[in-house]
Structure 1
């Protein structure tokens, strides 16, 4: 099978780009004078060693690293301790600002040295812009997925603290609950000041664009359909479907997760002058939130992209952990979240024996269930999930709605397209089928947290009536049908499924739209007025329509011309 799924989608852009350290140094030399101040602000995960080794070519009189101006690591640990908590997985969202990391005496001394210098000054590192006003401000950014790869290799340090040898889960926790929040808050404050953006995702192959090109890219993406760069990861329960369908690395044991729309972690690619420049997709949301999300959505969620699409592949694999997600109030109280991890499972593909666990069976004794889950967590018994939880056979194009508090999991031999709210760490595992993680260790079980949020009213009748294929036809015509498939009334996402063999007109209606081609080989997304370039979408690709696009049209294309296709679309209920 030849895969048509594009793993490196890029937005074509005209603008300025240079590649390689020699070219970058040449630009910075030309644009600065011998007594100028060059500031290279950074995200965590960037290689400070690579940057320093190359930037010394600028022959500075003073070269400062912000890490040398920070408070001590023990002081950083004390500063962040209340947000890290003692939990293995979960922290609390930090409200720290980057200036709190600086030692006032060290900062004062550095500023005095800069003021007294008669030569070129370079300041490098996270928060470098806070040290001194720059003649040239460069931002070295890094997508979160790349940071996670570097964490796993021990090649990334935390903000103000070297935790590179800590377990990955601890590094990720610090990044998610503290470091990335602190750095994003700082980055949002300096977007309009950055002169150049630096891409160092590929070691020793840097690329740099200027402010005008960055702004042109943001403008184009905010007014056109676009895709982010998907990423894939093995899982203890992972399957084999994505390997073949997406032409992934066959040497990997499996792929369980595929993240095709999580802008805070995905990358955005710009194709400029035969070069591809990579940056975090969240830059688009931060700089163009009104245009991308829609003003009503921005008013509710701020600069958070609220919709997540990802794949769960258990074909030839195993069951996911039996799990539950926290209620909104629990998420606020314990994690500092503004909204919680509501979900749904849209079934992309399924074997004959595929199934989903969803909701409790009628009249189960909650005390007995919790007692047995706690005993199973201690290893005293094997939890009998089928005794207490509905096991529902599933087929392609079923849609299961999973509001927070619902006990659930996908069984083996299914491919799930999760259409959910953005928070994606907040899973309380209740039972993991006596299975070890990929590291050979048991995965953390959270019965103590889970039992506080379980919705015991979600029984067999409730699940069948409200959560399983709650589909309504809302429109139809010659060659097309539109159905509402969800989500549940307690969830903020609306999903619409279109089945069509003719062009279908959509409108964003002041909300970002996220779609996936769930059936059919190929479609094309067009502007009726020619406002944006047509975009071709292949089977299983997720794509984003900014709210500012307004009206757009989708029709079968290429190999699907004259055939029936199907999309699923998510938007925020307004």
Structure 2
């Protein structure tokens, strides 16, 4: 099947919006600052997300705005990193991967007296000033222009792999997993809380995902209006792709990715915490974290009930796991809710499911333990395997189940599982995605040559030993229930177990099928058919085209919508899978 999978979907900026870049962006900031002040030097505050290349930004400001004094707020007023390390140390832990969710605020990382002194010096200066850095807005002055210099988490990770450090640390050569841990458990939590307070106040947003020299700039009004509009119509976030030790070839071939890459293991196609949004006007784009939409429009995007239950978090994750021509995923287990709460401070866990977009004849899923096995024997075998000389016999202890295209396997937390080789999995799950306890990794090292972390202590505490062959067959296999069937349309309930909070419905259709968001966010993927479009029965939004394997979001605010073939569609049959949070729809589930 030919695919036109869109790797750069965008959201339109409101009519009349302008995207400035390079020198014209700095000129626009200067003009706005001069227009906002009379009789005194102008003050611009540029508050950055941690991970922004601050030295490069400062150099660019000094080169393009030589009339301004550019002050690094971090150097002027941030607490010494040794004090911050002591403050957050308990959250970082000694573990390579896992910490404890932080609840710090950015002001805790700053010296209030030094911020006050900085404000006094700004008030006394005879020259215009630019305050720049993560926390610039904490300076007790009223800037004439407030700018948010934003950055997506995926870009931060790519920079860290190339040697970038965490905020104000000297850890360029540190293990990337530890860098990520510091961001995930502390820095990004603080940063998102801080910038959420800025959204309604910023005059401009600066995109720092590309080079600072070509950074794109839009007005705060354009940013806010674009996000409000995005929460009222179907949209896609920007997917990203990453290789892995078990990665395959399906995405490279079917989604038209870089043919020179050895493999692609993952695609995060709907993980707003990591993905970006592209905002476009007249062929120019600015890239922002998709999380900005969640933080700024949570009720409209998620729905009142889902927002009340999860807060401003996007609880549903769609991603791809490609093992076609690759290897098995690690044998793993996810934490139970009580464990993830008490151990890591996360308030819900990673229940998940595997939906088979495609599969070779020999594809399998490892799921649950075999009936009659001795837990002590399994634990001893797993512990012995950690020395690298005693491979764990997974097939002796774990069910190995044939997997076919369009099969859907439920995997509630606590269930031992892995996707086998030669599968193309659409993973539909809850969002807290780093909480995977690897039990056995088939004797491999990572693509960086370093053994991937095994977390037997955590894993053994969470394995549900009663989830054996009988339990798996009764609870996790073959659970497809026809909800309704009429000419050209069949709706089925498929997939997730009653212990999981996500409901999945599959719709098979030939021409069109009617949906309703019913007050909660819907996440869908076109799992069969070449292309469709999403239309509003009232014309509330323009038809939105979707291609095979693309994941898309229908915000709660949309209400009724139609999925239908396009004039160019050549497929005879189509299918979508739709996920939403159980118990949050405006009508009974």
One fold, TM greater than 0.5?
yes
1:247 aligns with 256
2:241 aligns with 232
1:474·1:483 contact (CA, 8 Å) conserved in 2? yes
1:502 aligns with 511
* Structure 1 residues 277-330: Cα deviation after superposition (integer angstroms, max 9, x where no partner): 110011111111001000000000000000000000000000000000000011
1:323·1:430 contact (CA, 8 Å) conserved in 2? yes
Deviation, 1:134, is: 1.3
2:32 aligns with 31
Does the alignment pair 1:285 with 2:297?
no
- Further displaced range: 466-475 or 111-120: 111-120
Matches within 5 A, 1:102-181: 102-131=110-139, 132-155=141-164, 157-181=165-189
Q: Measured at CA, do residues 61 and 478 of structure 1 come closer, stay the same or move farther in structure 2, by a change above 3 Å?
A: closer
2:19·2:281 contact (CA, 8 Å) conserved in 1? no
How far apart in 2 are the matches of 1:545 and 1:317? 33
2:71 aligns with 64
Does the alignment pair 1:52 with 2:53?
no
2:51·2:167 contact (CA, 8 Å) conserved in 1? no
2:200 partner SS: helix
* Structure 1 residues 47-105: Cα deviation after superposition (integer angstroms, max 9, x where no partner): 11221112123235532212211111111211110110011100001111100111234
2:222 aligns with 213
How far apart in 2 are the matches of 1:513 and 1:61? 48
How far apart in 1 are the matches of 2:117 and 2:571? 72
How far apart in 2 are the matches of 1:467 and 1:60? 67
1:484 partner SS: strand
How far apart in 2 are the matches of 1:378 and 1:447? 13
What do you get for the CA RMSD once the two structures are aligned? 1.3
How far apart in 1 are the matches of 2:562 and 2:381? 53
2:8 aligns with 8
2:587 aligns with none
> In the comparison of the two structures, how many residue pairs are matched?
573
2:280 aligns with 271
TM-score (norm 2): 0.95
* Structure 1 residues 501-524: Cα deviation after superposition (integer angstroms, max 9, x where no partner): 021100111110000000100111
Does the alignment pair 1:78 with 2:95?
no
1:310 aligns with 319
How far apart in 2 are the matches of 1:534 and 1:354? 37
Deviation, 1:543, is: 0.2
2:99 aligns with 91
How far apart in 1 are the matches of 2:234 and 2:67? 44
The runs of 5 or more residues in structure 2 that have no matched partner are 35-39, 584-589
How far apart in 1 are the matches of 2:285 and 2:68? 34
- Further displaced range: 489-498 or 26-35: 26-35
1:17 partner SS: coil
2:301 partner SS: helix
1:185 aligns with 193
How far apart in 1 are the matches of 2:194 and 2:329? 37
2:530 aligns with 521
1:567 aligns with 576
1:93 partner SS: coil
1:3·1:244 contact (CA, 8 Å) conserved in 2? no
1:530 partner SS: coil
Does the alignment pair 1:319 with 2:348?
no
2:3·2:548 contact (CA, 8 Å) conserved in 1? no
How far apart in 2 are the matches of 1:558 and 1:407? 45
How far apart in 1 are the matches of 2:252 and 2:170? 35
Q: 4+ residue runs of structure 1 moved beyond 4 angstroms?
A: none
1:75 partner SS: helix
How far apart in 2 are the matches of 1:185 and 1:30? 30
- Further displaced range: 399-408 or 206-215: 206-215
2:542 partner SS: coil
- Further displaced range: 6-15 or 406-415: 6-15
* Structure 1 residues 436-489: Cα deviation after superposition (integer angstroms, max 9, x where no partner): 110112111111110000011111111111112311000110001000003110
1:251 partner SS: coil
How far apart in 1 are the matches of 2:559 and 2:390? 56
* Structure 1 residues 148-180: Cα deviation after superposition (integer angstroms, max 9, x where no partner): 11111113x323323233221111010000000
How far apart in 2 are the matches of 1:161 and 1:15? 42
2:586 aligns with none
- Further displaced range: 531-540 or 502-511: 502-511
Does the alignment pair 1:485 with 2:494?
yes
How far apart in 2 are the matches of 1:20 and 1:472? 53
1:20 aligns with 21
How far apart in 2 are the matches of 1:62 and 1:276? 30
How far apart in 1 are the matches of 2:478 and 2:123? 68
Aligned to 1:40, which of 25, 43, 46? 46
Deviation, 1:220, is: 1.2
Aligned to 1:546, which of 555, 575, 582? 555
2:279·2:287 contact (CA, 8 Å) conserved in 1? yes
* Structure 1 residues 237-269: Cα deviation after superposition (integer angstroms, max 9, x where no partner): 000000011111111111000010000110001
